[in-house]
Amino acid sequence: MADDWPGVILAGGQSRRMGGGDKGLLLLAGRPVLAHVRDRLAGQCRRLALNANGDPARFAGLGLPVLPDVLPAGVEDSPGPLGGVLAAMDWAAGLGATEVVTVASDTPFLPLDLVARLAAAGPFAVAAGATEAGPRLHPVCGLWPVALRPALAAALAAGERRIGQWAQARGAAVAVFPAAVPDPFLNLNTPQDLTAAEALLRG
């Protein structure tokens, strides 16, 4: 069952277009963006955690364990979301899980059937949203086999940082989600995005 799998919210980005800091802690309709993401995922995964670096105390109000990046030897730069996926795999392995779900920390309208649709696509799958131009990949939202930990660690050590490219090169299926309003994969990258999301929630 999909709800047997743990889920990890990846919140390790530097949020440059939002002015820096933790954009997941910005308020959306009076609550942190991360709280919206957590609540969308909570009914789909049996256990949840947050991937973030730095002082974990700033996330105490979310009630989630905080997983820092665990980087392979030789990796000194920011590994991006692939580093978060590796931390998620490590955590899931400790729970005895065979797969782990990951989502982006700035997607407050995530599908409530995200995990079920990913699982239907295969044991290794990433999300895409339907658009008029064809499916648009959202690879941070994915279902990852824990057995890929050594391969991912090796890829990071070799300099790989492109999550979508790596996932597809390793054979990930693509689960295409229908278009909807609001966009289920809307990313809050700028203050304007946050304002738009507020309007969508009011509407």
The structural domains of the chain, with segments of one domain joined by +, span 2-202
What does pTM read for this prediction? 0.93
Each residue's pLDDT tens digit, 21-75: 788 999 999 999 999 999 999 999 989 999 999 999 999 999 999 999 988 877 8
Show the tokens assigned to 127: 């999300």
**Do 179 and 152 form a contact (C-beta atoms < 8 A)?**
no
pLDDT at position 29: 94
Detail the DSSP E strand segments found in the chain. Answer: 7-10, 27-28, 31-32, 48-51, 66-67, 99-104, 125-129, 136-145, 173-177
3-state secondary structure of 146: helix
pLDDT tens for residues 156-183?
999 999 999 999 999 999 999 999 999 9
Phi, psi for 103 (deg, rounded to 5): -140, 160
Going by the DSSP 8-state scheme, the letter that residue 98 receives in this structure is: S
H helices, E strands: number in the chain: 6, 9
Task: Please tell me the predicted confidence (pLDDT) of residue 20.
Answer: 60
- For domain 2-202, give the CATH number: 3.90.550.10
pLDDT at 32: 97
